[in-house]
Structure 1
Amino acid sequence: MTHPIHTNLVPVGRALLSVSDKSGLLDLARALAASGVELISTGGTAQTLRTAGLKVRDVAEVTGFPEMMDGRVKTLHPMVHGGLLALRDDDEHLLAMAAHGIEPIDLLVVNLYPFEATVARGGSYADCIENIDIGGPAMIRAAAKNHRFVNVVTDPQDYAALLAELAQNDGATSLAFRQKLALTAYARTAAYDAAVSTWMAGALNEPAPRRRAFAGKLAQTLRYGENPHQAAAFYLDGSNRPGVATAKQWQGKELSYNNINDTDAAFELVAEFDPAQGPACAVIKHANPCGVARGATLAEAYSRAYDCDRTSAFGGIVALNMPLDGATAEKIAEIFTEVVIAPGADADAMAIFAKKKNLRLLTTAGLPDPRAGGLTFRQVAGGFLVQDRDNGHISAADLKVVTKRAPTPAEIADLLFAWNVAKHVKSNAIVYVKDGATVGVGAGQMSRVDSTRIAARKSEDMAEALGLAKPLTFGAVVASDAFFPFADGLLAAAAAGATAIIQPGGSMRDDEVIAAADAAGLAMVFTGQRHFRH
């Protein structure tokens, strides 16, 4: 028989603590003990509490069974789960507890074996398996299910809120508080299982498992999404890939949804250019590059990138492949820039940017590896698409010359530069490059010939702004992220003054396009690889 009782405020009399992450544990345990809460614990957690002088009962004493099998079996017992799951207003549950000597557990504090950290440090298959927690998730799910009566805390950052709630309610907690704890608990076990299944799919080389789960940990609630009427938040996936998710923000207001998206695009692009081969800069606007360049110095690389499309660069994102220095900071500070992201920044740069209160400066202490694997996903109505990260790479040795004229060594260098940039431009993508700098970018058009013409027109506009006699596309090379389906796009590039083309090849009309290149005196190479980005 069930009797309705007041379950809003429930006092905490007994707590079970079992944590791998012991940060904040002693302060929490001391506060609980001072409030008269009985402490139960396991293994290393119990030892930590005893060493600190706290009175604690072993779970083995509660269950009547010792921990066994290297700690694999310790909390999976009715004396534990009965104490967590029992409904305190149900006569049958209370009679069962009395009959079997089961005492209620009002608070469960558990954080799980460090499975994600084991994977992140490259642990062996056996190590990863051993760090899959079993008893912890079982207890968490039991306590969360019974949140009408039981509190479950899975994250040390919630310890302070728990103690504040207990202090406010004379050693009790409210139902609303326990509901929030339960929500966090179920999300934690879901994320944990997602991490395990994702790792196992990779370990078993299973590209399309029957079920796929992704999880993240809240980094920040955002002011809004792409538009002010959309709610948004930023989550971390635990991969620790250097970038906006791992960066330290030194100044400026909070990043917006669009800032984060564009900053990620900028940093992933600039990482294509190895700092060992010299400074590089990428300027991004609305997730597309409006200028990318190398230079003898970082300041020169920025100036050359900026000169590709000064109009679009206003209010953009600047990404650098080397630590920001004062000379480069001075140049960047001359126009309005939303975000600058770099592996680091020196004192001079920091002092210069400090005068620009609205400019966000992020440092990452590293660059993402453009050749690393991993998964990306995006939502569609009714599901989501999953694919490998585009880590495709082309070297000079991979190029197939298909025209009568082969490209010169200087053209090859620019062709490879243009190809790396085109990989990060929304398709259909056309990128003109000259002497290690973009001089025209055409992005996201429905036809390739339109992208070709738009890129050339932008170069014409910049030539006029810079006082040049002719656009920098004259003598430039061109990269196309996918094949030219017709010769018209190639002919438009030739009309803009291009001398060499890099493209995947593979069109039914390749012969027609090659013939057009030969007639125009162009050199053209095929990569056999495309870089669609939608």
Structure 2
Amino acid sequence: MELRYGTNPHQDMAHTSPVTPGEWPVRVLHGEPSFINMLDALNAWQLVREASQTLDSPAAASFKHVSPAGAAVAGSVDEVTAELYGIAGDQVGPVTSAYLRARDADPKSSYGDFAAVSHPVDRELADLLTGVVCDGIIAPGYEPGTVERLSRKKNGRFLVMEADATFTPPALEERQVFGLRLIEARDNARLSAALFDQTVSGTLPAAAVSDLLLGLAILRYTQSNSVCYVRDGMALGIGAGQQSRVDCTRLAGAKVDTWWLRRHPVVRALAFGPGIRRQDRINWQIRFIEGDLTPDETSRVAEVLEGPAEELTADQRADWSTHLTGVAFASDGALPFRDNVDHAHRHGVEYIAEPGGSIRSDEVAAACREHRITLARTGLRLFHH
């Protein structure tokens, strides 16, 4: 299969072929994929397939730059998300709800995402996708008429791919880098509740086990180092590709805070003028939450809001943060210092899963006890590069 271009447009020689001749794991139904489109599609499909199989629920992911901006299983769509997309949250089907919840984790980053769902695309999801900025989707099937509906998006450039749900990948994986071929056994370690049989402190309710399993599935296909915060079957913040694990924890934690503050009455009361597009509303909400508007942005606020905005004070922020509870936190590698636990605690975390094995694991466990956080050591590292 010829690809539109490589990692960058000037790398104009790019193609792909199946490892086993004739056995394609995916096929293109519409559009022309680039090299990165293929990486996004293949990683995203593996994530949603594994999450769905592990949790027995439709799953979705919103991918950007070969890592998920968000991922979720089907569930309740809250008022904030429903209002943003102009839908009735209690009437949304399971596949659409999974994607809406995945996209809402970090809607700023999901602008121009590559979507993946574990179940066939129905008309409801196809209609939703036509109204958001999204570059493509991969799914195991499409209801009649949905491919034609999606193929008209982006002036006919929207990418529609179909995954073979029965495909079994080869036992070995390889890549070539600077003249060397690197070969390794595929990571086939099974994700199951048995990983949490031994907790270092506290106990895990069933809902926390499900959230941690979703977190591990997300991390398996997120560029390392990586951590994620999960609640009620959806990611609230994913930190990817940082050299320092605590930087991942803080980055993802900031996304959790933004997600939660988007639900604050002061933020919800921001009155945007007519004609302000959804993504612009999202971006302005986030800038308002971040609270460090530049002089230029401050002058432009009057152009997008119908009236002055109420101040979101430090005391209001602090009080609101105390109402976020029941958050699960998963790490793809061992927590090397207790600072990860201290930062995670600030974002409503009550459950942590990590491989363990750090020379400071005792300090990490002590921090969890201090913060009354249940700690599960899985013994399973999930680096992805």
Shorter-chain TM-score bucket reads: 0.7 to 0.9
Which residue of 371, 378, 382 corresponds with 1:520? 371
Q: How far, CA to CA, are the matches of 2:48 and 2:198 in structure 1?
A: 27
Which residue of 345, 354, 359 corresponds with 1:503? 354
Distance 1:480 1:319, change over 3 A: same
Contact 2:30 2:160 (8 Å CA) reproduced: yes
Q: How far, CA to CA, are the matches of 2:22 and 2:219 in structure 1?
A: 22
**Which residue of 1 is the match for residue 301 of structure 2?**
none
**Which residue of 2 is the match for residue 239 of structure 1?**
20
Q: Which amino acid aligns with 2:368?
A: A
Distance 1:476 1:240, change over 3 A: farther
Distance 1:285 1:232, change over 3 A: same
In structure 2, stretches of 5+ residues that fail to align are 76-93, 266-319
Q: How far, CA to CA, are the matches of 1:270 and 1:337 in structure 2?
A: 17
Aligned: 1:257 with 2:21? no
Contact 1:434 1:473 (8 Å CA) reproduced: no
Contact 2:201 2:376 (8 Å CA) reproduced: no
- The 5-angstrom pairing of residues 158-197 of structure 1 reads none
Distance 1:412 1:240, change over 3 A: farther
Which residue of 358, 361, 364 corresponds with 2:163? 364
Q: CA shift at 1:273, angstroms?
A: 2.4
CA deviation string 1:150-197 (max 9, x = no partner): xxxxxxxxxxxxxxxxxxxxxxxxxxxxxxxxxxxxxxxxxxxxxxxx
Contact 2:139 2:162 (8 Å CA) reproduced: yes
Corresponding residue pairs, total: 310
Aligned: 1:281 with 2:97? no
CA deviation string 1:121-178 (max 9, x = no partner): xxxxxxxxxxxxxxxxxxxxxxxxxxxxxxxxxxxxxxxxxxxxxxxxxxxxxxxxxx
Q: CA shift at 1:333, angstroms?
A: 1.9
Q: CA shift at 1:246, angstroms?
A: 4.0
**Which residue of 1 is the match for residue 9 of structure 2?**
228
Q: Which amino acid aligns with 1:482?
A: G
CA deviation string 1:10-57 (max 9, x = no partner): xxxxxxxxxxxxxxxxxxxxxxxxxxxxxxxxxxxxxxxxxxxxxxxx
Q: CA shift at 1:238, angstroms?
A: 3.8
Q: Which amino acid aligns with 2:111?
A: F
Q: How far, CA to CA, are the matches of 1:383 and 1:248 in structure 2?
A: 29
**Residue 253 of structure 2: SS of its match in structure 1?**
helix
Q: Which amino acid aligns with 1:522?
A: I
Q: CA shift at 1:301, angstroms?
A: 0.5
**Residue 506 of structure 1: SS of its match in structure 2?**
coil
CA deviation string 1:412-469 (max 9, x = no partner): 1111111111111111110111111111100000111100010111122233445475
The percentage of aligned residue pairs carrying the same residue is 33
Could you tell me the TM-score, scaled by structure 1's length?
0.55
**Residue 439 of structure 1: SS of its match in structure 2?**
strand
Q: CA shift at 1:261, angstroms?
A: 1.4
**Residue 187 of structure 2: SS of its match in structure 1?**
coil
Contact 1:439 1:473 (8 Å CA) reproduced: no
In structure 1, stretches of 5+ residues that fail to align are 1-218
Q: Alignment RMSD, CA only?
A: 2.3
Q: Which amino acid aligns with 2:114?
A: I
**Residue 51 of structure 2: SS of its match in structure 1?**
coil
Distance 1:472 1:480, change over 3 A: farther
**Which residue of 2 is the match for residue 347 of structure 1?**
144
Q: Which amino acid aligns with 1:332?
A: L
Distance 1:431 1:473, change over 3 A: farther
Q: How far, CA to CA, are the matches of 1:241 and 1:376 in structure 2?
A: 18
- The 5-angstrom pairing of residues 106-505 of structure 1 reads 219-220=1-2, 222-239=3-20, 245-252=24-31, 254-274=32-52, 277-296=56-75, 297-356=94-153, 357-366=156-165, 368-369=167-168, 374-467=171-264, 469-470=320-321, 474-505=325-356
Q: Which has the higher contact order (CA 8 A, sep 6+)?
A: 2
Select the structure of larger CA radius of gyration.
1
CA deviation string 1:222-258 (max 9, x = no partner): 343111222332221343798xx54333333x11111
Q: How far, CA to CA, are the matches of 2:374 and 2:220 in structure 1?
A: 21
Q: CA shift at 1:529, angstroms?
A: 1.2
CA deviation string 1:475-511 (max 9, x = no partner): 2101100100111112111111100000101111111
